[in-house]
Structure 1
């Protein structure tokens, strides 16, 4: 390793040298000597030391010498223009004392080889000073880098800065200023060392208990606890109490306790880590390319929604899940539902982020191209909350698909700062402007109840959020330009969409992709559906059809031999399709909703549940009405009257007599019904005559027989 002038070395276990830092002052290659100066924090004068080249090379080889650094004082690290004229004059005066000595090439070599060199004493006599003064100036010059500014005057600790002074009898500090001369301000007392001890004790006892406490409250408790005797005596003697003032208390608390300790001790650890700790860097410091890490989180949306079936029924506030690529700020997945934050809803957000967005947007009437939202990938790592994913299902299902699952610690929302900030953006630009919004705050008295303004359905809210996500992905974020040079080289605006596309095209990403059916089979739970004669039945009212070649044959079998259960994967976001395992040893096949169940097309699971609950309630409310009871009683009266009249009819000799002549009696009933539809006077005059004519005509038809010529039978040739 090359040894250079003014370089700093950490030397250890070298003969003739103490362990510590040394500055290289001069090299003498012809003499194979290096002159070094010890850097120690001591007022004792130090002398340069010579070290042989071979000795230093051996120390470097065995690891006894390491290149290091030495921090210069702040007052030396400034330009000439910022140094005061008086300091420059003192610096130049000191430099003039040693200028001739340090300009001599053999001065350092003679100094280390001769314990008492006459050149220094002669030089001191020449400049009318003493030898120790020259050595002090030389020590400063060698210690701080062998430059002029090393001789600047050091006043950083002048006047006892940072040191406490012993209190005397005279009152210190500015007196209390009063405007009215008729009032006389109390003189007060100086703060003693015993007072400082009480200040510390009171602050630890009353003020540093993990919560924010006002200093005035601590001061009041301190007086009652530790100065009670003096306060009682002063009140009895009608004089001012000899106690420290509140201003003195505040002054010494801030002086005795480090500011960082006061901040840390007046809050809990979680709040300190989230809101008060020092920031260590940017959120993307540990991600390099898109797909390195996706962040997933949920929040209750700040808006109330209504039922799609009945808009006057308020359902409450939905839960929105967002999946965001940490590196590009791209929102890659979205899920809105009435589910609470859980693995059940979280997996739907993952499925959305792993599948095509063009089809997803089309379900809500939004036509886009694949390039408008090209996010259907699996990340290298997923960062999420404990609540949804610290369960066996997430570990067994999501981990094999994703690869690595990171769980954020409790109460550490700032560790998912990217996705948390996306929620703020969606609220500010969309949600807080909608009807029925809570605007992110709790109800205040006299405020209008936001539930009364609820207007939008879950489907409409989702549609609005999709548009806002597309707008977000096309918005400019200046921080993206600082993360990668590709976005600048491509001369594209620094938007999440452009950042994503540029890195994917350059193959600088950590994204992977799987088939949609495979992703759903990994994440969605297996549900039971039924194969029936109509199709695949779900929830007793939804039927699905399949394009499988044997599907119609299976419906025939189900109608004649009975239905059978099948395994299915159900998407809670969209009821228009399900994935069904049609055969035992086959994969999952997509089945679409039949026309019979078109009322449930593109419905969310929440709407389906609402429909089922509505049906149950309507059935439970279906009680007999007054008119229904009246009809029931009238039917019973008719039955009773008929039975009574039947009982009064003359009895018959046999059962056959009751049924004989049914056709004739039927004709008579028909004729009587027809006559009953005519006018009353006509019916009264002609009823018997017409009946007789009809009877006569009927008898005549029975007696008259017409013989028809028989057709001659032709013999058929059997051959």
Structure 2
């Protein structure tokens, strides 16, 4: 990072501004002076220290011309004489750089000048501060007062009517202080409001309220009688004083509201790249809900709704440096997935979607210096994780200020226009109108297929898209750099480095991936309905201990795009370990959390439907059982021998059992062999074999023979 003399730095914490007074040739030491503090003295700082403060976002460089002295014709000779007199006093002092910035040397010099020019210490001190704080030029010593004369002063109203003579004989009135007070009240009450009244309407309301001579009633309605024409201000006078006292920004802010004024009516004097130096100076991130309906990869009959698309854009090069497509968000989880993709190996990322990529076509895998985002997901405690882990300065755009993120907003619009003619299930402008087509039924693409389309579109944009509105600076024009994102990025990497920072993808995942609590029990690590295990759990017998001592909770980080693996977190030692799916959950491998959740929901719906059917069957079973019991009770009652005592009934159980057993044996004993013979086709044996050798044995012989064969 380079610093320059007279640059202004801002300390965020103290809300103070400083000007750089001097830098040594080796760019290791600087002297700075606090502005807006006449008692301040130059301070010595290490360049490396200031660089670190800017990188972490505690300080920043700013452009502030309010301290510059602009010489105008309003200065008189006496002002220049005062300037020259002051310069004579401090000229010999300020030339002694950098020694003058050290207190001991400066004190001696000031004493010598006091004696030489017979001036006081505070006078010299005042001249030195003005010279240093205002840019180290002689004109910085010009006095702060100017003789502006009567320019811009209003003339007081007298008895005679001012202005041009009336054309049609109506004199009107002079606009005195009281009239101007009425004008202001009327303009603020009837014009500077959200009702959007016209200026003429405001004038009429003013006349009704302030210039009524009398009132009268007509059909029960109160009406006012205006004063004579010569006693009321004209519409021209009213408009004149309105235009004189109110500027466009005040009027639009009052009538449209500050948020809408800033968004739609403010002056646009800068381009986005005016705030950046090179690649990585500033990224913009935003999310939108795509206008297309998708289906599940598990079952294409399941319509899963519209996906959320996150994009991260580099302001300098306009290159898309990261993306996320899913059903998560817009939320912190979705934003973190997009930032994780920012530092990801894009070649490996594209290969997950069966897209071959040349690394040079998407070389971005860095974190920026500043990230501009919406309030929403980037406001609150979560953002502290970014600051703490990566010293990433996060700026939040104000509400209704999408124009602050114009680059990423424009890219969303470009994506929608590119893919609209191609996608089934794309929502048209007539969506939800009566009689309009239901585009949800046209859904064909899965989340993975839609992501493939967006990746290809982004690759085409990064490498081919010509940025017509990009304003190239002199260096870009000199090197004949075409305003194509990849060309701007490559040139910036070679010529304007220093903002990009390499961070390992694993570290980003550890810090930024969404987290959740999982349960360790005897069946594995249970998370979102999925069972996992890991080497650490096997070595330390987690599952056996859970069976003996009970389950417990652990924290996991997970990538909702692919739930094949999750990560056990232990921040105390900076440790995380990858967990893999157990066989019982292998069916979910390669799917996103959204798809798995939808799958499980569908299974629960099916289960719920089956539960009702099963319940009906159980009710039918109960009815059948009750019918059998009822018939049994009827039979019992019809054949009951009431002459038997309870003792006789209980005492005969053994004999009754024996009789029933014999009866049951007779019922169950069936001629097994005869049944087989009847059912078996008759096979003729050769005639030379004696028939007596194949007589059918009886049942007892057959069972005996089979038992002997079994014992053998």
Taking structure 1 as the reference length, the TM-score comes to 0.60
Alignment-derived partner of residue 40 in structure 2: none
1:662 deviates by 12
Of residues 346, 351, 355, the one that matches 1:366 is 355
1:607 matched to 2:595? The reply is yes
1:487-526 matched pairs, under 5 angstroms? 489=479, 492-505=481-494, 508-526=497-515
1:578 matched to 2:563? The reply is no
Taking structure 2 as the reference length, the TM-score comes to 0.61
Alignment-derived partner of residue 207 in structure 1: 191
Q: Does the Cα contact within 8 Å between 1:652 and 1:658 map onto a contact in 2? A: no
Provide closer, same or farther for how the CA distance between residues 584 and 293 of structure 1 changes in structure 2, counting only shifts above 3 A. Answer: closer
Of residues 163, 185, 205, the one that matches 1:221 is 205
CA distance in 1 between partners of 2:665 and 2:541 (Å): 49
1:482 matched to 2:472? The reply is yes
1:416 matched to 2:400? The reply is no
Equivalent pairs counted in the alignment come to 549
CA distance in 2 between partners of 1:60 and 1:585 (Å): 60
CA distance in 1 between partners of 2:459 and 2:355 (Å): 11
1:694 matched to 2:694? The reply is no
Alignment-derived partner of residue 35 in structure 1: none
Alignment-derived partner of residue 265 in structure 1: 254
CA distance in 2 between partners of 1:324 and 1:518 (Å): 21
1:286 deviates by 3.0
What SS class does the counterpart of residue 204 from structure 2 fall into? helix
1:527 deviates by 3.4
What SS class does the counterpart of residue 278 from structure 1 fall into? coil
* Alignment RMSD: 5.6
What SS class does the counterpart of residue 556 from structure 2 fall into? strand
Of residues 312, 323, 331, the one that matches 2:312 is 323
1:191 deviates by 6.2
Provide closer, same or farther for how the CA distance between residues 672 and 161 of structure 1 changes in structure 2, counting only shifts above 3 A. Answer: farther
CA shift digits 1:161-213 (9 cap, x unpaired): 9999974798646x8xxxxxxxxxxx866564266664443112211236643
CA distance in 1 between partners of 2:217 and 2:655 (Å): 130
Alignment-derived partner of residue 284 in structure 1: 273
CA distance in 1 between partners of 2:474 and 2:404 (Å): 22
CA distance in 2 between partners of 1:354 and 1:590 (Å): 19
CA shift digits 1:388-434 (9 cap, x unpaired): 12222321455322443333444443333333333233333335874
Alignment-derived partner of residue 333 in structure 2: 344
Provide closer, same or farther for how the CA distance between residues 394 and 434 of structure 1 changes in structure 2, counting only shifts above 3 A. Answer: same
1:333 matched to 2:309? The reply is no
CA distance in 2 between partners of 1:696 and 1:348 (Å): 80
CA distance in 1 between partners of 2:528 and 2:310 (Å): 26
What SS class does the counterpart of residue 414 from structure 2 fall into? helix
CA distance in 1 between partners of 2:626 and 2:442 (Å): 52
Q: Does the Cα contact within 8 Å between 1:530 and 1:563 map onto a contact in 2? A: no
Q: Does the Cα contact within 8 Å between 2:212 and 2:226 map onto a contact in 1? A: no
What SS class does the counterpart of residue 229 from structure 1 fall into? strand
Alignment-derived partner of residue 417 in structure 2: 428
What SS class does the counterpart of residue 349 from structure 1 fall into? helix
Provide closer, same or farther for how the CA distance between residues 196 and 190 of structure 1 changes in structure 2, counting only shifts above 3 A. Answer: farther
What SS class does the counterpart of residue 284 from structure 1 fall into? helix
Q: Does the Cα contact within 8 Å between 1:531 and 1:558 map onto a contact in 2? A: no
Provide closer, same or farther for how the CA distance between residues 481 and 244 of structure 1 changes in structure 2, counting only shifts above 3 A. Answer: closer
Alignment-derived partner of residue 94 in structure 1: none
Q: Does the Cα contact within 8 Å between 2:347 and 2:357 map onto a contact in 1? A: yes
Q: Does the Cα contact within 8 Å between 1:398 and 1:522 map onto a contact in 2? A: no
Alignment-derived partner of residue 29 in structure 1: none
Provide closer, same or farther for how the CA distance between residues 410 and 481 of structure 1 changes in structure 2, counting only shifts above 3 A. Answer: closer
Provide closer, same or farther for how the CA distance between residues 279 and 50 of structure 1 changes in structure 2, counting only shifts above 3 A. Answer: closer
Q: Which has the larger radius of gyration?
A: 1
Task: Point out where structure 1 has 5 or more consecutive residues left out of the alignment.
Answer: 1-37, 70-156, 176-186, 680-689, 709-719
1:253 deviates by 3.2
CA shift digits 1:414-464 (9 cap, x unpaired): 333333333233333335874555568996666556555555443333333
Of residues 340, 353, 358, the one that matches 2:342 is 353
Alignment-derived partner of residue 467 in structure 1: 456
1:527-676 matched pairs, under 5 angstroms? 527-529=516-518, 538-540=527-529, 542-543=530-531, 567-580=555-568, 587-593=575-581, 597=585, 599-621=587-609, 622-624=611-613, 629-630=619-620, 633=623, 653=655, 668=670, 670-671=672-673, 674=676
Q: Does the Cα contact within 8 Å between 1:291 and 1:327 map onto a contact in 2? A: yes
Provide closer, same or farther for how the CA distance between residues 578 and 702 of structure 1 changes in structure 2, counting only shifts above 3 A. Answer: closer
1:700-715 matched pairs, under 5 angstroms? none
Q: Does the Cα contact within 8 Å between 1:576 and 1:593 map onto a contact in 2? A: yes
1:607 deviates by 1.8
CA distance in 2 between partners of 1:551 and 1:331 (Å): 42
Provide closer, same or farther for how the CA distance between residues 503 and 700 of structure 1 changes in structure 2, counting only shifts above 3 A. Answer: closer
1:537 deviates by 5.0
Q: Does the Cα contact within 8 Å between 1:379 and 1:402 map onto a contact in 2? A: no
CA distance in 2 between partners of 1:437 and 1:326 (Å): 29
Provide closer, same or farther for how the CA distance between residues 583 and 402 of structure 1 changes in structure 2, counting only shifts above 3 A. Answer: closer
